[in-house]
A and B are shown apart, each in its own frame.
Chain A
Amino acid sequence: MRRYFAGRLLQVVPLLFGISIVVFLVIQAAPGGPEGSLLAAGRFVDPEVIESYRRRLGVDQPIYLQYLNWLGAVVRGDLGHSFATSRPVAEMIVERLPATVELMGTAFLLAAVLAIPLGLLGGLRPQSAIDLAGTGVSFLGIAMPVFWFGLLLQLIFSVKLGWLPVGGTGTVGATSLGDHLLHLVLPGLVLSTRYVAGWSRYFRGSLVGTLRADFVRTARAKGLAERAVVGTHAVRNAMIPLVSIMALNAAELFSGAVITETVFAWPGIGRLFVQAMFARDYPVLMGVLLMGALAVIVFNLVADLLYGFLDPRIRYE
C-alpha cells in the first residue's frame, strides 16, 4: 500500500505541471493579455505591482520563459500580488479560507444528516413510494439552479417571514455566536442541496447492491435479526463508497461555493474569485484555480486512502 501511494504521489508531479501550463495559458488568453487589464482605463494600480508583475512575467520575453519564471515563483509559494489590492495573493486566499471551510462544513453536516436517512429509506425498499419520493427530491435538488433556490429561500425566510438574515456573516454590531449561526443557516442549506441529492442517490444505490450480496444472505441464513443484518452488515458496508464520495466532494472547497457565496454575500473564496473576475484581477484568479486543482488532487488521494482503510479487502498493488 505504501508503495502504491508513493507511486501515486509521483504521478502528482507531472499532473501539477500540466495544470500549471493550462492555467497559465488560460490567463494568457485574456483579451489584451494578463497585464493588459492593469493598464485598463482610469484605474489606479500601485506602480510597484505593475513593475513586479511585468518583471515576473517578463513581458518582453518569449512565452515559455514567462511561464518558467512564473512557475519558479509559484513553486516557492509566491502566487504573486493582487492587481486590485497589491497584497500577496496567497495571503488573500488564506484569509478567506476559514469562511468557506465553515460554510462547506455546515453544508456537509446538513447533507449527511439529510442524505443518509433518505438513501437508507429508499435503499431498503426500492421502488416503494418512499423511494420514489426520495428520488424525486434528489432530482429536484439537482435540477434547481443553485442561485434561484437561494433567492427563493431569501424571499420566504428573510423577506416574508423575517426569520433569518438575508446574507453576510453577522448583524452589524452583534457579536454573539447565535447571530452568526443564524447567518449560516440559509447558505448552508442551499450549498448542501447538491450534496443531499448526490449522496442520497449514491448511498441508495450502494445499499441496494449490498443487500443483494452473498454475505448479507449468509447473515440472514444464520438467523440474525433483520435489524442486525441491515444495521451492522449491510449499512456499514454500503457506507464505504459514500465516504469516499464525500472526500471527493470536499475538494470543491475552492470552487463549489462560488454561486452560494455570491447570493448570500458570504466572504469566502468563491466570492473572492467572482470579485477578482470582475476586477480582472488575474493573479488572484490564477491563484484560486491552482489551489482548487491542488485540492482536487489531494482529496482524490484522501478518497483512495479512506477506501483502502475502510475496506480491508482493497489492496493497492
Chain B
Amino acid sequence: MSRGSGWDRFRRHKAAVASVAVFAALGAACLAAPVLAPYQIDAIDLGNLRAPPSLTHLMGTDDLGRDVFTRMLYGGRISIAIGLLAALVGTGLGALIGATAGFVGRRLDSVLMRFTDVAFAIPTLPLLIVLSGYSEAALISMVTIIGGLSWMATARVVRSEVLTIRAMPYLEAARALGAANVTMIRRHALPNAMGPLIVAATLAVGNAIVIESSLSFLGLGVQPPTPTWGNMLMDSQSTMASKPWLTIFPGAAILLVVLAINFIGDGLRDSFDPRHHGG
C-alpha cells in the first residue's frame, strides 16, 4: 500500500476530516490562550462569584469569581498536552520495547514479552491511582505515569509487525548487504508498522485525557490552581445542580476533544491499517 493512497482514503472519511478541523481549532484556541483569554488566568472578581454566562463572562465565573472561559482555554492546554505527551511516551515506549523484542529475539524477546504480560495483567486504573497518589500530581508526573502504563498493546502490535517483516526476503537481502539491526528497525520495520502505530497513538491521546479527568475526580490529577478540564469538573461537582455551567463547559470540552480524536483514529485505521476493514 502506497503512502498516498492511505491519505486519499483518509480524506474521503468525512467524520475524520471534520474531526481534524475541530481538534485543530480547539487546540489552536487553547494554544493562543494568552492572546485570546479575556482575563488573567487567576484574576478574581469578588463581585461576580459563580455568575452565569454573560457578555462579560462568556462561560460565567467559578467559586472564586474567576472567568471560566479563560480557565477553559488555559486548562485545555494542560489537558491536551497531557493527552499528546502521554500518548507519545506510551507509544514510544511500546514501539521501542516491541521492536527490540521482535528484532533481537531469543532470550530478550521472551523476557520483554513476559514483562508485557505482567504489565497487562495488573489492573491499570488501580495502579494509576496508587502511583498518582505518591506523586506531586503535576503535568510531568501525570504524563510519566499515564504514558508509562499504556505501552503494552503497542509493544505487542509492533513486535508482531517486526516478526512478520523480519521473515520477508527483502530484509534478508538487507541483512546480507550488511545492514545493522538498528538500521533495519529504523529503515524497514518501523515504516511498515507505522499504520497501526499512528492509530494506537491517536486513540491513546483521548484515553489519556479521560484518565487525567478520572484521576482529577478522585483528587489525584493535576492540582489546582493550575486548571485542567478534569480538575475544573471536579471543582464543579458540589454545585452541579445550581450552577450547571461550571460543569457543562469542561465536560463538553473533554467530550468534544476525545470524540474528535476517536473519529480521527477510526479514520486513520480505515485508511492505513491493512488488516482492518471498515464496512
Which of A's residues lie within 8 Å of B, judged by CB? 14-15, 18-19, 22-23, 26-27, 29-31, 122-123, 126-127, 131-132, 135, 139-140, 142-148, 151-152, 155, 159-160, 204, 208-209, 252, 254-256, 258-259, 262, 273-274, 277-278, 285, 288-289, 292-293, 296-297
Task: Verify A15–B134 contact, CB threshold 8 A.
Answer: no
Task: Verify A259–B279 contact, CB threshold 8 A.
Answer: no
| Residue in B122, B123, B133, B217 whose beta carbon sits within 8 Å of that of A147 in the complex | B217
Task: Verify A258–B125 contact, CB threshold 8 A.
Answer: yes
Shortest distance between the CB of A104 and any CB in chain B (Å):
13
Task: Verify A145–B114 contact, CB threshold 8 A.
Answer: no
Which of B's residues lie within 8 Å of A, judged by CB? 15, 114-115, 117-127, 129-131, 133-134, 206, 210, 213-214, 217-218, 230, 233, 237, 240-241, 244, 247, 251, 254-255, 258-259, 262-263, 266, 277-279
Task: Verify A297–B258 contact, CB threshold 8 A.
Answer: no
Task: Verify B120–A155 contact, CB threshold 8 A.
Answer: no
A256 to B214, CA, bound (A): 12
Shortest distance between the CB of B147 and any CB in chain A (Å):
17
Of B124, B130, B241, most A-chain CB atoms within 10 Å: B130
Task: Verify B123–A126 contact, CB threshold 8 A.
Answer: no
A109 to B119, CA, bound (A): 29
Task: Verify A255–B125 contact, CB threshold 8 A.
Answer: yes
Task: Determine the chain B residues whose CB is within 8 A of the CB of A148 once the complex forms.
Answer: 213, 233, 247, 251, 254
A273 to B128, CA, bound (A): 12
Task: Determine the chain B residues whose CB is within 8 A of the CB of A131 once the complex forms.
Answer: 279
A26 to B126, CA, bound (A): 12
Shortest distance between the CB of A205 and any CB in chain B (Å):
8
Task: Verify A145–B279 contact, CB threshold 8 A.
Answer: no
A273 to B123, CA, bound (A): 12
Task: Verify B214–A146 contact, CB threshold 8 A.
Answer: yes
Shortest distance between the CB of B128 and any CB in chain A (Å):
10
A163 to B15, CA, bound (A): 37
Of B15, B217, B237, most A-chain CB atoms within 10 Å: B217
Closest 3 CB pairs of A and B: A126-B279, A255-B123, A143-B258
Task: Verify A273–B217 contact, CB threshold 8 A.
Answer: no
A sample of 13 cross-chain residue pairs with beta-carbon separation below 8 angstroms, ordered by A number, consists of: A22-B122, A132-B15, A143-B258, A144-B255, A147-B213, A151-B237, A151-B247, A155-B244, A258-B125, A259-B214, A277-B129, A289-B123, A296-B123
| Residue in B118, B124, B133, B247 whose beta carbon sits within 8 Å of that of A22 in the complex | B118
Residue of A nearest to B14 (CB): A132
Task: Verify A31–B262 contact, CB threshold 8 A.
Answer: no
A289 to B214, CA, bound (A): 18
Task: Determine the chain A residues whose CB is within 8 A of the CB of B114 once the complex forms.
Answer: 14-15, 18
A178 to B259, CA, bound (A): 37
| Residue in A143, A252, A258 whose beta carbon sits within 8 Å of that of B210 in the complex | A143
Q: With A26-B130, A155-B241, A292-B123 given, name 12 new contacts (CB 8 A).
A: A14-B114, A26-B127, A127-B279, A140-B255, A143-B206, A143-B254, A145-B213, A145-B214, A208-B279, A256-B123, A289-B126, A293-B122
Task: Verify B259–A139 contact, CB threshold 8 A.
Answer: yes
Task: Verify A277–B122 contact, CB threshold 8 A.
Answer: no
Task: Verify A273–B129 contact, CB threshold 8 A.
Answer: yes
Task: Verify B121–A159 contact, CB threshold 8 A.
Answer: no
Task: Verify A255–B254 contact, CB threshold 8 A.
Answer: no
Task: Verify A254–B123 contact, CB threshold 8 A.
Answer: yes
Task: Verify B118–A18 contact, CB threshold 8 A.
Answer: yes
Shortest distance between the CB of A107 and any CB in chain B (Å):
15
A18 to B123, CA, bound (A): 14
